[in-house]
A and B are shown apart, each in its own frame.
Chain A
Amino acid sequence: MSLAAPQPERSASSGLRARLRAPGLRWRAMPVATPWAVALLLLVISVILYPATIHYGGMATVTPLLGVLVIASLGQSLVIGSGGIDLSVSSVITIVGVVFVLQGGTRGGSVTLAIVYALLAGLACGVVNGFLVEYLRLSPLVTTLATGEVMAGLASIWYGGGTNNLVVPKSWQQFTGDAFGDGISYVLVIAMVAALLLSVVLSYTALGRRLTAASTSSRAAGYQGISARRYRAANYVVAALLYSLAGILFVGDIGTATLSLGNVYQLSTIVAVVLGGAALSGSRLHPAATVAGALFLSLINQDVAASGIAAGTQGVIQGAVLVAAMAATGLGTLRSIRRRGVRRSAAPPPAPPPASSPLGATEAGSPTDPGPSAP
């Protein structure tokens, strides 16, 4: 990165300090650091209020749900990052759960085949969404709502109008319900791996940089020779695959599929992404920030439910805390932008933009072959 150009006379530690202070890095870290600071603050409060939160029982029951929310929210973040919104998430999770038990929950059924079929069901929805929104330029809100309705309808037909209540195979239930250490669910581990992979792909691969460029500004990406439409459509496909993964894990945790299986994720994924500092109008993707948003949402849901106070009061507290968290993450990002703006105007020669700015693909020189970015 040009702002952190090597200065041989400095020691290694002072070099690191300088790099940490570098405006570019701060700019990159702030959108992730603020949501994490807010989420960790809530975690501390949760542990003080309910110490059993971090005991085996609390962890083993909360972390699977958190893992599912993280995975589904990562999918939603891809779509929101491109300025879209995906309201088919709940239906995809539901139909994936239904397909999973229809194959895996019947006599002689196979878990492997159930996973394959379930992923294919989600994939189909993602392809349709991507095509309709990006190639036919239909409104993402209405389109994904409509495709969600279709998926929900199909789930109802395949599941006998809801009369079916097939049970997930014991082996899959055990895997999704199992935990290690102090109660860390394998579902959460899968979610963390998914978040890490997404971060690496988005930040350190040409594919990810093109995806980011196409998401944040399709026109600018077009000027650089990137087929923005294809990449933006791919967002819906990858998102649907992530919802499918979430659905497969979720149905294992619940033990059976119902026609309302995914309902809880319709809005919670959007809330988690926005709590992670994302703008609904589209912005650079920060999977780590989305994880923080999901953690915050899980904790506040649990804390409010554990409080035992009246349902109405719970709603008031939950809403107020969410607004406060939004304000905290939003202000943190705004301050960061302001600081960056001031520095830029103060500096006599305009510094080249950091390698990881939203239009990452251009910064490495070639629009079509951005290459790996500097750390």
Chain B
Amino acid sequence: MVIRGGPAGRRARMLAAIAAAGMVAVTVAACSSSSSSAGSSTSGGGSSSSSSSSSSSSASSQYAPTPVTLSAAQETAVIGKAFLTTSVSPSSLNPDILQGLEEAGGSYTAAQVKTAWSCQSQTTCTIGSGSQTLAILDGDGGNLWRQITRAAITMEAFAYPNIGHVIYLQAGGNLQTMQADLKSLIARRVTGIVTYDDFGAAMTAAYQQATAQGIPVVAYGGTPGSGAVSAVVSQVQSSFCADGDQMAQTTSQMLGGKGNVAFFTGTPGNPQGAGWETCAQSWFAKNAPGIAVVDKSNTSWTGPGAVSATSALIATGKTINAILYDYANQTVNIVQTYQHAKLAVPDQVTWTSDNQLLQLWQQDQTSSDPWKLAYSSSINFEGNIALAALMNHLAGKTVTSQLIFPLPFVQAKTGDYNASQPADAPGPTLLPDALLTDLLSAS
């Protein structure tokens, strides 16, 4: 053969060696790429530990956000707006939570806001030229809270230059629809999914399927629960037990440590209600024995349900000093039912915020029977934290399996009611004002 002898042969052997080395390098690179891809595809589902991360370091840049730089004052303002209080310090928050809040409260251009608004009426929306596709999978989708949260996630997606498309699917409260939606997202090979899971653990197997296909899932608000640690990257929510403690503590302050209280929650046995009710009751027993829990009712989280439950409570003839509930929108129904019955409205402690509730409260402050109201943030930022966690996971960072944020309760004060906003406006959000105005004026 030519390459065996003479200078020409030596050159040929050198060239062959270089070519071989090149091929090896290419092969190694390809294998490396392949393994990193595989790592990425299984990292969300393989771990049963309390944290997960994507193993690809080369991928980190393509999932990185445009850096958000906030001054200390801006950061404090964002957190104050998110939690309605400045008592939550940035250092006390998980980095993923802080990142999600900062991205949600970041600055966005008018064009981006306009695009985000137009996305609200589309199931598939193009927000940029990037190749990545973010999917928002909503188990219900049929109320203003979900739509604001959806808008907040879409807005935040602009912080990630490689996200070019946002898909939004809502299941309308139907488990089969949600499972079919998830399968369609898998078939479309989306980059990642953030989901509000209205069906709890029933969706775990479907999430597992997505994770096995290399599509990570992060749940916020409604979550599949502790049994789904390997099925989803992370679950974003407040601690139900800590919320119950907070509600009990706030109630005790309002009642001066004695009185009768009633607990209202949505569907019987829902983990959220069961969580806060148990802990609130324990807190009362331990710290405020003068407060008795004399009634527990279910409303199915519907207006008619809240009216029926309140009506039944009134029929018992028991004196109720405070009602603790986990949805401000229907605390309105509770208050109005008491007003129809011409009875003094008990003090109200409720999750989330509602403009009409604040209006009712403000109107009654000048009446002979003023009542107290404590409420929390409307926590529309849950989805923002979920997106930050999803992208951090894809970028190979470690994300804890549960991202728990605090839920402080604040007492209503004059000025909290905003007459320029519609009845069900959810109070302060981190959305750009222009986008929130569009959303609220549409409603």
Q: Chain A: residues with CB nearer than 8 A to chain B?
A: 46, 50-53, 55-58, 60-62, 64-65, 156, 160-167, 173, 177-179, 183, 250, 253-256, 258-261, 263-264, 301-303, 305-306, 308, 311-312
Q: Give the docked Cα–Cα distance between A252 and B4 (Å).
A: 98
Please state if B315 and A52 are interface contacts (CB–CB under 8 Å).
yes
Contact of A52 among B143, B294, B317, B439 (CB under 8 A): B317
A61 B314 Cβ-Cβ under 8 A = yes
Known contacts A164-B442, A255-B332, A256-B303, then 5 further A-B pairs from the complex at CB < 8 Å, ordered by chain A residue: A57-B342, A254-B304, A255-B303, A264-B305, A303-B312
Identify A177's interface contact among B303, B340, B356, B439, CB under 8 A: B340
Contacts A161-B147, A177-B340 hold; do A263 and B315 have CB atoms under 8 A apart? Answer: no
B298 within 8 A of A: yes
- In the complex, what residues of B have CB within 8 A of residue A64's CB? 340
Whether the Cβ atoms of A255 and B316 lie closer than 8 Å is no
Instruction: Mark B312-323 against chain A: 1 for CB-CB distance below 8 A, else 0.
Output: 111111000000
Closest 10 A-B residue pairs measured CB to CB? A52-B317, A162-B142, A311-B268, A57-B341, A305-B312, A165-B424, A61-B311, A58-B315, A306-B312, A177-B340
The verdict on B348 contacting chain A, using a C-beta distance below 8 Å, is: no
B51 contacts A by Cβ under 8 Å: no
Asked whether, in the complex, the Cβ of A165 is within 8 Å of the Cβ of B422, the reply is: yes
Q: How far is the CA of A286 from the CA of B418 in the complex (A)?
A: 51
Across the interface, name the chain A residue whose C-beta is closest to B301.
Answer: A260
| Residue in A55, A161, A183 whose beta carbon sits within 8 Å of that of B142 in the complex | A161
Q: Roughly how many angstroms separate A303 CA and B313 CA in the complex, as a whole number?
A: 10
Q: Give Cα A178–Cα B339 distance, bound, in whole angstroms.
A: 10
The size class of the interface chain B forms with chain A is 35 or more
- Closest A-chain residue to B307, C-beta based? A254
Chain A: CB-nearest residue to B339: A177
Tell me the bound Cα distance from A207 to B251 in angstroms: 61
Contact between A305 and B302 (Cβ–Cβ < 8 Å)? no
Q: Are B439 and A163 in contact, CB atoms less than 8 angstroms apart?
A: yes
Q: Which of A51, A55, A61, A301 has the most CB of B within 10 A?
A: A61
Q: Mark B173-205, 1 if CB is under 8 A from A, else 0.
A: 000000000000000000000000000000000
B38 at the interface (CB under 8 A from A): no
Q: Does B296 contact A (CB under 8 A)?
A: yes
Residues from 342 to 375 in B contacting A, C-beta threshold 8 Å: 342-343, 356
Q: Taking the nearest CB of chain A, how far is it from the CB of B73, in angstroms?
A: 33
The answer to whether A160 touches B315, judged by C-beta atoms less than 8 angstroms apart, is no
Q: Of the candidates A160, A183, A302, which one forms a contact with B442 in the assembled complex, judged by CB atoms under 8 Å apart?
A: A160
Secondary structure call for the A interface:
helix
Q: Separation in Å of the B440 CB from the closest CB of chain A?
A: 9
* Interface pair A57/B302, CB less than 8 Å apart: no
How far is it, in angstroms, between the C-alpha of A256 and the C-alpha of B439 when the chains are bound? Answer: 18
> Closest CB of chain B to A254's CB: distance in Å?
4
Q: Separation in Å of the B233 CB from the closest CB of chain A?
A: 28
Bound: A240/B273 CA distance, A: 37
A-B contacts, 12 of them at CB < 8 A, read A60-B341, A62-B311, A163-B147, A164-B144, A255-B332, A256-B423, A260-B302, A264-B305, A305-B309, A306-B312, A306-B315, A311-B269
Mark B residues whose CB is within 8 Å of A: 141-144, 147, 170, 268-269, 294-298, 302-305, 307-317, 329, 332-333, 336-337, 339-343, 356, 422-424, 439, 442-443
A302 to B221: give the CA distance in the assembly, Å: 31
Question: Could you tell me the distance between the alpha carbons of A167 and B147 in the complex, rounded to whole angstroms?
Answer: 19
Q: Do A305 and B443 touch (CB < 8 A)? A: no
Measured between alpha carbons, how far is A7 from B130 in the docked complex, in Å? 97
Contact A61 B337 (CB under 8 A): yes
Residues of chain A within 8 A of B314, CB atoms compared: 52, 57-58, 61
Report the separation of the CA atoms of residues A271 and B307 in the bound assembly, to the nearest whole angstrom.
Answer: 21
Among B302, B305, B341, B422, contact of A61 (Cβ-Cβ < 8 Å): B341
The reply to whether A311 and B336 contact each other, CB–CB distance below 8 Å, is no
In the bound complex, what is the Cα–Cα distance between A268 and B251 (angstroms)? 36
A105 to B273, CA, bound (A): 32
Are B143 and A163 interface neighbours, CB within 8 A? yes
In the bound assembly, the distance between CA atoms of A164 and B297 in angstroms comes to 27
CA distance A265 to B423 in the complex (A): 26
Closest to A167 in B: B423
Contact B443 A258 (CB under 8 A): no
**A156 & B341 in contact (Cβ 8 Å cutoff):** no
Complex Cα spacing A56 to B298, Å: 23
Contact A255 B142 (CB under 8 A): no
Contact A160 B443 (CB under 8 A): yes
A305 touches B297 (CB 8 A): yes
Q: B214 to chain A: closest CB distance in Å? A: 31
- In the assembled complex, the Cα of A253 lies from the Cα of B304 at a distance in Å of 9
CA–CA, A370 to B332, complex, Å? 53
Contacting pair A308 B295 (CB below 8 A) = yes
A302 nearest CB across to chain B (Å) = 5
Set of chain A residues within 8 Å of B304, measured between Cβ atoms? 65, 250, 254, 261, 263-264
B443–A164 CB distance below 8 A: yes
| A302 engages B312 (CB within 8 Å) | yes
Chain A nearest CB, measured from B377 CB (Å)? 19
Contact between A56 and B341 (Cβ–Cβ < 8 Å)?
yes
- In the complex, what distance in Å separates the CA atom of A287 from the CA atom of B294? 39
